[in-house]
Amino acid sequence: MSAPLSFRAEIGRQLGRRRTVWIFGILIVLPLLFVAAFSLDSGPRDGGANAGTRPVDLATGGAANFTIFVLLVSGELLLYIVAALLAGDPVPAEASWSSLRYLLTAPVARARLLTSKLVVGLLSLAVAVVVLAVWALLVGWIAYGTAVFTIPGGGTMPWGTFLPRLAIVLPYLFVSVLPIAAIAFWVGVRTDTPLAAVGAALIAYIVAGILDSIDALGDWRKALPGHYSRAWLDLLYSSDPDWSAMRHGVLWSLLYAVLFVAIGFRRFDRKDVLS
Ranges of the chain whose pLDDT falls below 50: 1-2, 45-51, 97, 107, 274-275
pLDDT on residue 47: 38
CB 178 within 8 A of CB 257: yes
pLDDT at 49: 41
Q: b/e string for 98-122 if b means 16 or more Cβ within 10 A?
A: eebeebbeeeeebeebbbbbbebbb
Q: Rounded to an integer, what distance in angstroms lies between the CA atom of residue 63 and that of residue 157?
A: 13
Reduced to 3 states, what is the DSSP secondary structure of residue 44? coil
Predicted pLDDT at 50: 44
**pLDDT tens, 194-225?**
788 899 999 999 999 999 999 999 999 999 99
pLDDT for the residue numbered 250: 96
Distance from C-alpha of 165 to C-alpha of 162, rounded to nearest angstrom: 5
Q: Are 235 and 247 in contact, with CB atoms under 8 Å apart?
A: no
Q: What is the structure's pLDDT at 190?
A: 83
What local confidence, expressed as pLDDT, does residue 46 receive? 46
Residue 222, amino acid = K
Q: Taking the chain, what is the end-to-end CA distance rounded to the nearest angstrom?
A: 25
